[in-house]
């Protein structure tokens, strides 16, 4: 499931590179290269003429999917560069999947230490594609394998030279819905205690109402059914409007949380309607003077 989820998101990004508007176009020009060739639907995006038809096909199958991935890519790109320009010294791609930012932004990130963290199965797929694209594993990235549901992220990162006192930007894209609630909590506890003051983590998440079966949100029914049919239903969500209280349990500060409406207006300029059942949170670590509070998971 991890492999198909990563390839599905990557295929959406590849399809987005065909948009004519340069401001709207998906900036992930490496996405099609990260899809392995073969007899599967996602491989169709590797064919330039077919790729142009894919946005409509994706939207017909999973309404909101194409526009959500487009907005998420733009948003996390912006957050990454803003944090680097603001003084972040380390970048962690948490649940990296087929993320290409360490390679697309190699020059911009040259002064930072880069860590791609992922499950060994997904990491092996990524490694195959890196070998095919670059002729070997790029040496400017440290590749860290971890099972988010059973291993300590901080311990694994420390083994690869991660500096827990340095300001860090963590991108956590498309991961939280598939983790057990305690797995999400453990990762946020690590971020709160194991990154320097001023560090930021940007992640997307589902509203728990969608998780619990509310089909009133755009694209909810179609996505839930498709994920469940794939054998791994969603496991984690935050109740709508409660992201601030949720992250404060860990001594963290919610700096921004983009709703679907925010994403449609700010990131997509009204061009399309993204999924309507979650947010994209930017959370700040204020430092070790703000210990985690006691609280409940959603």
Domains of the chain: 62-284 (3.40.50.150)
Please choose, from the candidates 125, 100, 89, the residue with its C-alpha nearest in 3D space to the C-alpha of residue 199: 89
Q: Which of the residue ranges 31-35, 203-207, 293-297 has the most confident prediction, judged by mean pLDDT? A: 203-207
The pairing of strands 113-118 and 90-94 is: parallel
Q: How far apart are CA 265 and CA 268, in angstroms?
A: 6
Contact 65, 88 (CB under 8 A): no
Query: For position 293, what pLDDT does the model report?
Result: 47
Q: How far apart are CA 154 and CA 191, in angstroms?
A: 8
Query: For position 292, what pLDDT does the model report?
Result: 47
**What token pair was written down for 234?**
């969603």
The pairing of strands 253-258 and 278-284 is: antiparallel
Query: Which of the four pLDDT bands, split at 50, 70 and 90, describes residue 215?
Result: very high
Percent of the chain at pLDDT > 90 equals 79
């Amino acid at each position: 499931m991890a492999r198909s989820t990563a390839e599905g998101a990557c295929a959406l990004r590849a399809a987005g590179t065909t948009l004519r508007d340069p401001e709207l176009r998906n900036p992930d020009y490496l996405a099609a290269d990260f899809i392995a060739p073969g007899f599967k639907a996602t491989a169709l995006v590797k064919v330039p003429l077919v790729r142009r038809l894919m946005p409509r096909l994706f939207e017909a199958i999973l309404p909101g999917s194409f526009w959500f991935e487009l907005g998420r890519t733009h948003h996390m790109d912006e957050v990454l560069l803003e944090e680097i320009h603001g003084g972040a010294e380390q970048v962690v791609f948490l649940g990296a999947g087929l993320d290409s930012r360490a390679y697309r932004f190699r020059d911009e990130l040259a002064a930072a230490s880069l860590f791609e963290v992922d499950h060994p199965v997904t990491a092996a797929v990524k490694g195959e594609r890196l070998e095919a694209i670059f002729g070997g594993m790029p040496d400017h990235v440290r590749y860290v394998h971890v099972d988010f549901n059973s291993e300590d992220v901080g311990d694994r990162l420390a083994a690869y030279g991660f500096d827990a006192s340095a300001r860090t930007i963590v991108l956590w894209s498309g991961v939280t819905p598939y983790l057990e609630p305690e797995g999400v909590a453990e990762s946020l506890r690590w971020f709160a205690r194991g990154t320097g003051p001023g560090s930021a983590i940007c992640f997307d998440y589902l509203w728990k109402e969608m998780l619990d079966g509310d089909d009133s949100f755009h694209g909810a029914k179609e996505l839930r059914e498709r994920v469940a049919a794939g054998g791994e239903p969603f496991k984690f969500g935050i109740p709508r409007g409660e992201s601030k209280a949720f992250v404060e349990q860990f001594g963290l500060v919610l700096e921004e949380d983009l709703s679907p409406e925010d994403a449609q207006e700010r990131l997509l300029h009204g061009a399309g309607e993204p999924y309507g059942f979650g947010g994209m949170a930017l959370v700040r670590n204020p430092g070790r003077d703000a210990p985690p509070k006691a609280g409940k998971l959603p």
